[in-house]
Structure 1
Amino acid sequence: MSNDQPPGPPPEDDPFRKKPQEPQGPEGNQGSPGPQGPWGPQEPTPPPGGPPPPQGGGPYGAPPPGSPHGAPPPGSPYGAPPPPYDAGPYSGSPYGGEADPLRGMPPLADPGKRILARIIDWLIVLIPLALIGIPFGVYDGITEQSNDFDDLVTNVNTGSQWIFQIISILAYVGYDTLMVRKTGQTIGKKLMKLRVALLQDGSTPDTGSSLMRAAVLWLPQLICCPCLWPLILLIMILVDKPYRQGLHDKAAKTVVVSTTQ
């Protein structure tokens, strides 16, 4: 009996029949297509030994290690905000929980040095004015025999006295304005190593701020309150927190700080 196979096409279950090659993936790796889902074919099953399929979680790839449920790590701009800043001793101040308002600023000027600087500036302007006042009759009626206050006031309130008063205002206000506008220092402040600076950024005050500061500083003192006004300014400097500003500093938004020059 012969073992030759009968002629004709091989049967469907013939183990020697060459079957068609399965389709390959885009990179040449063979893999079986995944099952059909409700929205089309699902992700193909990777071949053995290949890289794992990308995990779901967002358009930027897999979540970082140690981050549960794909959440970014704490402190990132896309996650939970960082813990609130500890304001330290300023947390109970009228500035709320903001940072130290004096951070980055030079040391504030000592009130005693500010007083000495003001006395020096006052004398620098006063001495020339005392000499200029002689031809204006500033000292008329001020004699050893004149003790009547009414006579003194009458002698002072003459036309020449008013002219001299205007000159005095221009001298004090002009001196302070020009010196502060130029370097932030009058002669007295330079000797005491102090400087006037804008509170906002520490720069030298401009003309408007310098003029405002000088006007509030000198006008009340020269016109109506020669003794009371300096006392009010001194009290304000001593009690003001945290910048030790007098009324003239608050009006011009300035602060007086220590300097090395």
Structure 2
Amino acid sequence: MAPLATSGQRFVARLLDTLILGVIWTLALAATGALQSAMDDPNDPDIGKTAISAVITFIVYFGYEGAMLAHDGQTLGKKAARIRVAVLADGDIPRGKGWSRAAVYALPGIAQPILLGTLFWLLNSLWHLWDKPFQQCLHDKVAKTVVVEAR
């Protein structure tokens, strides 16, 4: 198996993916009217639009991560950082495991209050800093994957 990715590579990849997803997410929310509803009266959120927003958040994150990881183990951010997700046991492209990894990463986005989802994302993303020996985040542990340098 290739060497494990560095924390810096992982950070760059996640930052780029977050920027890409932020654009997609904003466009999706604008198309449904959920974004306008939140901007019209932020102190009186429309529960229906909030639910739509949560579902869109999950679909965008899950769809992007799952599809790209199942295809070749790389999101656009990971391609730019020259890293990829690999199955821990054999180093292969994650295929189905890419979808389970994406679900664990995306599911907290629909948690209410939103702060809980944000805290989970933060803890999950930092987990690799102290995890030994494979530097896995929680979503890696569930899917039995690791992040390695792309060859």
Question: Is the TM value for this pair above 0.5?
Answer: yes
Q: How does 1:8-87 map to 2 (within 5 A)?
A: none
RMSD: 1.9
Aligned counterpart, 2:89: 200
Aligned counterpart, 2:77: 188
Q: Is the 8 A contact 1:136 1:164 kept in 2?
A: no
Aligned counterpart, 2:58: 169
**Partner Cα separation in structure 2 for residue 126 and residue 184 of structure 1:** 21
**Partner Cα separation in structure 2 for residue 137 and residue 230 of structure 1:** 23
Aligned counterpart, 1:220: 108
How far apart are residue 160 of structure 1 and its match? 2.7
The amino acid across from 1:124 in the alignment is: I
Between structure 1 and structure 2, the one with the greater Rg is 1
Q: Is the 8 A contact 1:117 1:189 kept in 2?
A: yes
The amino acid across from 2:119 in the alignment is: L
Secondary structure class of the residue paired with 1:133: helix
Cα distance, 1:190–1:239 mapped onto 2, change above 3 Å: same
Cα distance, 1:137–1:174 mapped onto 2, change above 3 Å: closer
Cα distance, 1:175–1:108 mapped onto 2, change above 3 Å: same
Q: Which ranges of structure 1 fall in alignment gaps of 5 or more residues?
A: 1-104
**Partner Cα separation in structure 1 for residue 126 and residue 12 of structure 2:** 15
**Partner Cα separation in structure 2 for residue 240 and residue 164 of structure 1:** 33
Residue-by-residue CA offset, 1:151-205 (whole Å, 9 max, x unaligned): 63x31x4213312321221111011011000000000000000010000000011
The amino acid across from 2:133 in the alignment is: P
Secondary structure class of the residue paired with 1:255: strand
Q: Is the 8 A contact 1:212 1:251 kept in 2?
A: yes
How many residues in Structure 1 have an aligned counterpart in Structure 2?
147
Identical aligned pairs, as a percentage?
37
Residue-by-residue CA offset, 1:47-88 (whole Å, 9 max, x unaligned): xxxxxxxxxxxxxxxxxxxxxxxxxxxxxxxxxxxxxxxxxx
Q: Is the 8 A contact 2:127 2:137 kept in 1?
A: yes
Q: Which ranges of structure 2 fall in alignment gaps of 5 or more residues?
A: none
Greater RCO, 1 or 2 (C-alpha within 8 Å, sep 6+): 2
Secondary structure class of the residue paired with 1:138: helix
**Partner Cα separation in structure 2 for residue 123 and residue 181 of structure 1:** 21
The amino acid across from 1:140 in the alignment is: S
Q: Is the 8 A contact 2:34 2:52 kept in 1?
A: no
Q: How does 1:238-249 map to 2 (within 5 A)?
A: 238-249=129-140
